[in-house]
Amino acid sequence: MIRNPILPGFNPDPSICRVGDEYFIATSTFEWFPGVQIHRSTDLVNWDLACRPLSRASQLDMRGNPDSCGVWAPCLSYADGLFWLVYTDVKRLDGNFKDAHNYIVTAPAIEGPWSDPVYVNSSGFDPSLFHDEDGRKWFVNMQWNHRGRSLGGQPKSPAFDGILLQEWHPEHGLIGPVRNIFAGSPLGLVEGPHLFKRNGWYYLTTAEGGTGYGHAVTMARARQIEGPYEMHPQTHLITSKDHPDAPLQRAGHGQIVETPKGEVYHTHLCSRPLPGRFSPLGRETAIQKCVWGDDDWLYLEHGGTVPALDVPAPASASPRPVGSVRRVFDGPDLPPEFQWLRTPCPERLFTLGQDGLVLHGRESIGSWFEQALIARRQEHLQYRAETELADFDPETYQQAAGLATYYNRHKFHFAAVTWDETLGRCLTIMSCPGDWPNAALHWPCDPVVLAPGPVWLAVKVSRSVQQFFWHQGGDWQALGPALDAAVISDEGGRGEHGSFTGAFVGMLAFDITGQGRSARFRNFDYLPKADRV
């Protein structure tokens, strides 16, 4: 069986394609760098990170992008001996405008080398590229309507203004007329378009209802790619919107894939909320087995529209057991699960070598430009993370380094080694428990005086509660009170409709004097506890 989610933790907007006997899924990375995660599988059960293709400044520079902007909803496909990756770099979130720029990169193999981007358009986000049987290529994306107020006495315009289609040529770019081919269902907020062709039908699968608890996969079809498109008999192929007790919530936004034997599956994003509807793991990737009906419409194999936790796999395969991950920083490369924020210039944030991972303190926690935070996804509802801060000697309270659980600039908890005028070097907690938009700091505990030398830091997260720990060679001691882990979630702070990523845990340093004081970390351990829902 396939156990959902197949990509746990922050892995939304899954675009899937098959090349031979291998499957690939591309997911959104938003403000985290390098951009786009691509996972590989041969059985749809077990998945490995294959690459993050947007890894240099010519492809992606997100310095200054607000939280939850950056890379939205990529589309991965394979044609003409190349992988094609379409992606958006969104430059604005709040207000009427989005400033969503769409690009295409290609590579002969999934590991690369990936090309410099070709700019396509900026009319809306969630772009997709469809390779038709006759060799023509078609670009689709949702259209964003910024007119939030009535114009000239006309009714208010919806922001999600339908799905645009235009032919695209590798040498000439967009050619021919632009057509709005699908306005969506009455659920509204139509986005995430992907095209699929079978038996003379063009199937358009879209996301609707927003990416919250009203989310859905909506399907339509037409005999001609330009339309007209008729709606699926159920309207929605996959949704949990009317089933608040379903274990997989917020189901929507995915894509069709067929196995070599003709079995059909459909990916979708989902979340596993805690009681009270908090999703620290963000939007994850799941997959459902489907069947083609006698009417040539796609349906979930188990019936209805609610996604299942366990679905049949195309072949016998056992999910890998949950295991701990220990990383010792003694080489030139950052372990693959770690990312940083926004900048294509990581050498300004960190260096690696035999002596460890050295973070160069830059701007404050929550900066939209240069923030020395090296972190990995929280992939389990219960886990413990540990690190050794081997060397850090602050000279002012404007310098700090330590261990952080982080969502964005107004949702984080930070166990920080810093400096106090009275105490000298000390350990404290800086916290911002969902204070949007002010991002005001809270101080949950009094500072602890530290002896010279290394400091070991840990955090234990148990669903909606987290606790920091520390020691300097003795037994672990609790640092401060238990903290609310639920705010480090999609719904914490401003809520589900303004937060699109997921919880991270990692090492952080800042130096807002501008002197770039460094902090050296020796290792990082992630110890999960299996806990599916």
* Catalytic residue annotation: 370
Question: Which two structure tokens, joined as six digits, stand for 275?
Answer: 């009681």
User: What does the angle CA 171 – CA 173 – CA 176 come to, to the nearest 5 degrees?
Assistant: 120
Q: What is the largest CA-CA distance in the chain?
A: 77
Residue bearing tokens 């809270």? 442
Distance CA 278, CA 478 (A): 25
User: What does the angle CA 255 – CA 43 – CA 24 come to, to the nearest 5 degrees?
Assistant: 45
Yes or no: say if 140 and 127 are a contact pair by the CB < 8 Å rule.
yes
Cβ-based neighbour number of residue 517 at 10 Å: 21
Yes or no: say if 104 and 89 are a contact pair by the CB < 8 Å rule.
no
With a CB cutoff of 8 Å and minimum separation 6, the contacts of 35 are 29, 52, 53, 54, 55, 59, 60, 62, 70, 71, 87
The alpha carbon torsion through 118, 119, 120, 126 (nearest 10 deg) reads 100
Beta strand 518-529 with 325-328: parallel, antiparallel or unpaired?
antiparallel
Cβ-based neighbour number of residue 242 at 10 Å: 11
Distance CA 448, CA 158 (A): 53
Distance CA 220, CA 184 (A): 9
With a CB cutoff of 8 Å and minimum separation 6, the contacts of 364 are 371, 510, 512
DSSP designation for 391: E
Distance CA 476, CA 479 (A): 9
Residue bearing tokens 């690190």? 387
Question: Which two structure tokens, joined as six digits, stand for 278?
Answer: 């908090």
DSSP designation for 274: B
Q: How many helices (H) and strands (E) does the chain have?
A: 0, 39
For residue 37, the SS3 value is strand
Distance CA 389, CA 455 (A): 5
Question: Which two structure tokens, joined as six digits, stand for 174?
Answer: 């967009």
